[in-house]
Structure 1
Amino acid sequence: MDATPNNPIQNNLPQGIKEADLLEAIKKSGYPLQTRVAKKLSDRFNLHEEWSFKDRDSGTLRALDIFANMPLVDYSAPQPRTSPHLSILLECKQSELPFIFFETEHPARLTGFPPIAGLKSHSIEIATNEDRSVYIFSILTALGLSNHDFITRPPFSNTFSKCGRRGSSLELSGEDAYNSVVMPLIKAATHYEISEYPKPTYRYFQAKLTLPVAVLSAPMVITRSDGETQFTPWVRVTRHEYDGDNYDRNKSRFWAIDVVHEDYLSTYLDEHALPFAREFAEKVLKHDEELASCEGFTEQLDGDVFRIGVSALKPRPISKKVFGAFRNFIEKLAHNSINIK
């Protein structure tokens, strides 16, 4: 192994440690993969390697391999009330043994995927002239993006495992894959949402489309209920949680993590994630006022909102806002949430 010109002779391997063994340990550690992934992203994203986040269970600081952010707005133009961004949280894993994904035939409806950090709410309240009700939709649903090809295209898996060796045979370990891949990304995404939550005094906001992504340098295999098994470079892993700390009314939440093979990462970004992010940015800039308040108005709702979004969405009139505030006040009184002295 070569040394730099200024390296002192004492900075060398001690007896008993072979250079080949050291290089093999470095290769298996995952850091070379992290470096390769960062290099692929560095020309387009602002990167932070070893990005720290607070573990929601232990309260301790942990580190994610890479945080990548891309502004999707021209800051030389007049600033919109809501600026779109693409944020990607990446965890890198490499293995000689395969990861096995079990495809689900009934994937959950991911109206909240990808999550959007930086706004007051995960959802938007929409008033109409049809009645006095206020309709609540996820932001991506209201923008007509919840049925986008990027959301529905990949195979879905609720369960996956990593192969391990037991003597001369292979066995599957779901716990190892879950603890090393799924939970770090969910915890990092949770931390990111909390850290980006706007203060009450904010007038300008950032809508940060957030993609938790696991990049594997390992064989990826998907198996279906009919017994068919194939290699695949992209699987979306879903997980349901009860989110008691969620600031929205709906406490049930589905997380999703995109698991992507290292050699498919550029295709995943160029042909799937970035086109979706650009369409998201276009709609955010069109409806920046509505997203800043997480309130909107339309004359009437179309029949299939989940497919086409809320057409003719516009900022809520002042009269509707006043009525909404009064209605919320009455609801709180009814539930004894306000004490009048």
Structure 2
Amino acid sequence: MSNELPVPTEEQILAALQRTGYIFEQKVADLLGPGVSTGWAFKDQDTGVSREIDIFKEEYETLYDDSTGKRLTIRWVILGECKNYQWPWVALTKKWSKIVWDPLGFYEGRWQELTATLAARLELERENGSALPFEKFPAEYHRLRYAPHPRAVQLVKLNKKSSGWETHSSDVYSELTYPLAKAVTHLRDVSTPTGEFKDQAQMDRVITIAFPAIFVSTDIYVVVPNRGEYSVEKSQHVILERHLSSESTSGLFRYDVVTLDGIGGWYADHVLKVVRGVAAAAGFAGPKVYVAGRGRSALGVPRRAAPSPRGRA
């Protein structure tokens, strides 16, 4: 009997990685550009143990407005889970509900993915200059972030059996939506100023936007209801809604579900568009707005030298 250990071939190694999804995860990271971390860990708020999600990408820019002397730091974070699956996905959709104004909505977590310091919220409340009145912000944010895309109320997998196609969603909650909701809640907690200098930190204008995303390797079929009938069409991007409840993670969570082929367009045409729109809603848009420093601005804002500390507000 030989005591030699088996040696895998190159093809066997790559096949094993492909089956477990590690190569797919790297493809997603590459498509999202520089600065992506794979395997991002954080502390579970309920159990205290370490959790991990597949994708983490953080960017920010500090905008200055020459006309007012003010500045705003806007930060956007992609929190992603990757699912390598051989068969397509199906999203059951409904029309978007009408947005109803809730004066406490921003403060009580109307959007789990959106965090703003007190100074940034006050800027959104302004009704003069170029700032958008706060009463209009919910509708504007919804128009930018959600309304252009199908609203999925259920996400399931197709599975090819000998008897035909079947659907199931057994691991969507445990492996995708719940871990991402935990990550969003953690990000919101660490983005909220606390401690000795929290009052000072609240006076800095900072907005953080999280993009919890499920990246899938195969097609998404969207089921659209119409007066009792249903039609099916393909989409590269849908918004999944799920109500979740645990000791620390509760409420309505929304997720971007994106195919591999759609990632590039999703980041350029959706993520950055939302970020620019939120900055504009806070009054930071127009020819007088710029970013300090050199190099290319991710938001397409002109760059120039930063003002002196005395000139900042």
Do Structure 1 and Structure 2 share a fold, with TM-score over 0.5? yes
Partner of 2:84: 94
Partner of 1:49: 38
Match for 2:258: what amino acid?
V
Q: What is the aligned counterpart of 1:236 among 217, 234, 239? A: 239
Partner of 1:283: 281
Deviation, structure 1 residue 215? 1.2
**Are the structure 2 counterparts of residues 127 and 227 from structure 1 closer, same or farther at C-alpha, using a change threshold of 3 Å?**
closer
Deviation sequence 1:296-330 (CA, Å, 0-9, x none): xxxxxxxxxxxxxxxxxxxxxxxxxxxxxxxxxxx
Contact 2:88 2:158 in 1 (8 A): yes
Q: What is the aligned counterpart of 2:48 among 55, 59, 66? A: 59
Question: Using the alignment, how far apart are the partners of 2:255 and 2:58 within structure 1?
Answer: 17
**Are the structure 2 counterparts of residues 153 and 165 from structure 1 closer, same or farther at C-alpha, using a change threshold of 3 Å?**
same
**Are the structure 2 counterparts of residues 82 and 24 from structure 1 closer, same or farther at C-alpha, using a change threshold of 3 Å?**
same
**Secondary structure, in 3 states, of the residue corresponding to 1:204?**
coil
Partner of 2:62: 73
Contact 1:236 1:256 in 2 (8 A): yes
CA-based RMSD = 3.7
**Are the structure 2 counterparts of residues 147 and 140 from structure 1 closer, same or farther at C-alpha, using a change threshold of 3 Å?**
farther
**Secondary structure, in 3 states, of the residue corresponding to 2:62?**
coil
Asked whether 1:195 is paired with 2:168, we answer no
Deviation, structure 1 residue 211? 0.9
Deviation sequence 1:190-236 (CA, Å, 0-9, x none): 11111221123324252111111111111211112322112211110
**Secondary structure, in 3 states, of the residue corresponding to 1:228?**
strand
Deviation, structure 1 residue 143? 7.3
**Are the structure 2 counterparts of residues 148 and 243 from structure 1 closer, same or farther at C-alpha, using a change threshold of 3 Å?**
farther
Deviation sequence 1:29-72 (CA, Å, 0-9, x none): 222122122222234xx332211122344332111112111213
Tell me the number of residue pairs that the alignment of Structure 1 and Structure 2 aligns: 259
Matches within 5 A, 1:215-234: 215-225=215-225, 226-234=229-237
Contact 2:79 2:210 in 1 (8 A): yes
Q: What is the aligned counterpart of 1:15 among 6, 15, 19? A: 6
Radius of gyration: which is bigger? 1
**Secondary structure, in 3 states, of the residue corresponding to 2:91?**
strand
Matches within 5 A, 1:201-280: 201=199, 202=201, 203-225=203-225, 226-241=229-244, 253-280=251-278
Match for 1:59: what amino acid?
G
**Secondary structure, in 3 states, of the residue corresponding to 2:146?**
helix
Contact 2:75 2:207 in 1 (8 A): yes
Match for 1:222: what amino acid?
V
**Are the structure 2 counterparts of residues 80 and 127 from structure 1 closer, same or farther at C-alpha, using a change threshold of 3 Å?**
closer
Per mean C-alpha deviation after superposition, the further-off stretch among 179-188 and 106-115 is 106-115
Per mean C-alpha deviation after superposition, the further-off stretch among 223-232 and 15-24 is 15-24
**Secondary structure, in 3 states, of the residue corresponding to 1:175?**
coil
Contact 2:89 2:221 in 1 (8 A): yes
Could you list the runs of 5+ residues in structure 2 that have no partner in the other structure?
128-132, 286-313
Contact 1:115 1:210 in 2 (8 A): yes
Contact 2:45 2:248 in 1 (8 A): no
Partner of 2:73: 83
TM-score by length of 1: 0.64
Question: Using the alignment, how far apart are the partners of 1:14 and 1:270 within structure 2?
Answer: 48
**Are the structure 2 counterparts of residues 36 and 126 from structure 1 closer, same or farther at C-alpha, using a change threshold of 3 Å?**
closer
Asked whether 1:40 is paired with 2:31, we answer yes
